[in-house]
């Protein structure tokens, strides 16, 4: 018996002031992975300051997946768990070396894409988080980014230019193939797309130009994942 056969899956997802609005890129990639595998889950709204609700996971960040009574954390580990415990369902990684290359994309998102995007959209996130989270969010993000919200707002143009450089390899790759994983989107595509889902839910100002070469791929991802394209809080189509 796989762990999830012991009970329904539950996914703790970061929520905004409006509990229906789920904006975390790390949660979105797991939501997409579950859709890809055709697995139902109960989606639980969670706030930054509700650490006690996920304390049994041994840490304080989401996504947290509850499977068979176990609390799993770290999106990469959750994706690997889903792949192994539901090997009969569509694969997240494809044949070897799919998982190894997806790990690279996962790390690129964590170490390059998300930090560059955060410098652009964090002031907008501060405006949409729940009141109980705002002081915590502003304090922790100002410390991490080494700039105040006002400075980040003032530096938006420079931050967008830096983001564009980070995006260039993604853009060139997706200019010559439909998805990062080839003809079909797999987990690496979900990881990269979830960053843009984060941006379009949080920031009313698009981070990509109207003619950006990434948009056709983003639209293909929207077609594959209508649940994401039509999710509460999505401010614009790609
Ligand atoms: N490496 C982790 C990152 C998780 C993460 O940073 N989650 C954010 C939401 S996107 C969070 O829960 N932050 C809580 C906090 O900053 O206190 C993963 O991939 O799951």
Same fold, 3-85 and 98-225: no
What does the pLDDT look like over 135-183, one tens digit per residue?
Answer: 999 999 999 999 999 999 999 999 999 999 999 999 999 999 999 999 9
Q: What is the DSSP letter of 147?
A: S
Report CA(125)–ligand 1 centroid distance (Å): 14
**Ligand 1 within 6 A of CB of 65:** no
**Pair of tokens at residue 127:** 């405006």
Right CATH for 98-225 from 1.10.3720.10, 1.10.3660.10, 3.40.50.300, 1.20.1050.10: 1.20.1050.10
Quick: pLDDT tens for 160-172.
999 999 999 999 9
Any ligand 1 atom below 6 A from CB of 186: no
pLDDT at position 6 is: 53
Burial bucket for residue 121 (CB in 10 Å: 0-12, 13-18, 19+)? buried
* Token duo for residue 132: 């109980």
Task: Tell me if 198 CB under 6 Å of ligand 1.
Answer: no
| In CATH, 3-85 is 3.40.50.880 | no
For residue 213, is pLDDT > 60?
yes
Domain-by-domain residue ranges, the chain? 3-85, 98-225
Question: Which of 35, 113, 33 has the alpha carbon at shortest distance from 80?
Answer: 33
Ligand 1 touching residue 94 (CB < 6 A) = no
Q: Ligand 1 in contact with 74 (CB < 6 A)? A: yes
Task: Give the orientation angle of helix 187-202 with respect to helix 114-128, to 10 degrees.
Answer: 40
Residue 7 banded pLDDT, cuts 50, 70, 90 = low
Shortest CA distance to 166 belongs to which of 205, 214, 231, 220? 214
Q: How far is the CA of 193 from the centre of ligand 1 (A)?
A: 17
For residues 208 and 229, give the distance between their C-alpha atoms in angstroms, rounded to a whole number.
16
Paired sense of beta strands 70-73 and 41-46, if any:
unpaired
The CA distance from 220 to 72, in Å, is 30
- Angle between helix axes 187-202 and 98-108 (nearest 10 degrees) is 20
pLDDT digits (tens, 9 = 90+) for 27-44: 999 999 999 999 999 999
User: Ligand 1: does its nearest atom lie under 6 Å from the Cβ of 26?
Assistant: yes
């Amino acid at each position: 018996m796989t762990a999830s056969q012991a009970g329904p899956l539950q996914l703790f997802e970061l929520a905004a002031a409006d509990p229906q609005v789920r904006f975390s890129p790390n949660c979105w990639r797991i939501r997409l992975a579950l859709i890809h595998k055709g697995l139902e889950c109960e989606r639980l709204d969670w706030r930054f300051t509700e650490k006690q609700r996920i304390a049994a996971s041994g840490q304080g960040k989401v996504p947290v997946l509850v499977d068979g009574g176990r609390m799993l954390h770290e999106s990469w580990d959750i994706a690997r768990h889903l792949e192994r415990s539901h090997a009969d369902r569509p694969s997240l990684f494809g044949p070897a070396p799919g998982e190894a290359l997806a790990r690279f994309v996962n790390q690129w998102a964590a170490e390059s894409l998300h930090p560059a995007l955060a410098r652009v959209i964090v002031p907008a996130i501060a405006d949409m988080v729940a009141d109980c989270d705002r002081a915590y969010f502003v304090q922790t993000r100002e410390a991490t980014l080494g700039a105040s919200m006002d400075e980040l707002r003032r530096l938006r143009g420079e931050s967008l230019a830096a983001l564009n450089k980070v995006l260039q390899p993604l853009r060139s790759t997706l200019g010559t193939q439909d998805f990062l994983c080839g003809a079909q989107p797999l987990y690496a595509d979900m990881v990269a797309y979830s960053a843009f889902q984060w941006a379009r839910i949080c920031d009313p100002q698009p981070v990509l130009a109207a003619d950006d070469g990434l948009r056709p791929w983003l639209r293909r991802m929207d077609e594959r994942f209508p649940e994401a394209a039509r999710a509460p809080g999505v401010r614009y189509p790609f």
